[in-house]
Amino acid sequence: MEKPPFSLEDFVKQAADMLPGESARADVQKNFRALVQSALEKMDVVSRAEFDAQAEKLRRCQIQLAELEAELKALSE
């Protein structure tokens, strides 16, 4: 599976890497990750896996709809 363009881990690591001192980085990374994750949970967002699953269901429904429309058209002729 292709890596998503945005990952929470990458974002937190980039933010923590801007700080001097290894102990400060580790501490901030832990706290910042919890803060960002909490904010995302409050938002109306879904995970990439959930999005991909729903997109696949939609694709299958579109195929089935096209098949049913073609069948209906053939029956009505």
The pLDDT of residue 4 is 57
Residue 1 in any domain: the answer is: no
Q: Note the pLDDT of residue 3.
A: 59
Residue 55 one-letter amino acid: A
Model confidence at 5, in pLDDT bands (50, 70, 90)? Answer: low
pLDDT attached to residue 15: 75
Average the pLDDT over 13-22 and give the result: 75
C-alpha radius of gyration, the chain, whole number:
22
30-75 tens-digit pLDDT: 888 888 888 888 888 888 889 999 999 999 999 999 999 999 999 9
First to last CA, the chain: 44
Residue 2 covered by a domain: no
Domain membership of residue 31 (yes or no) is yes
* Structural domain count, the chain: 1
In a domain, 38, yes or no: yes
Domain hosting 21: range is 8-76
In a domain, 27, yes or no: yes
Helix (H, G, I), strand (E, B) or coil at 77: coil
Residue 3 domain-assigned (yes or no): no
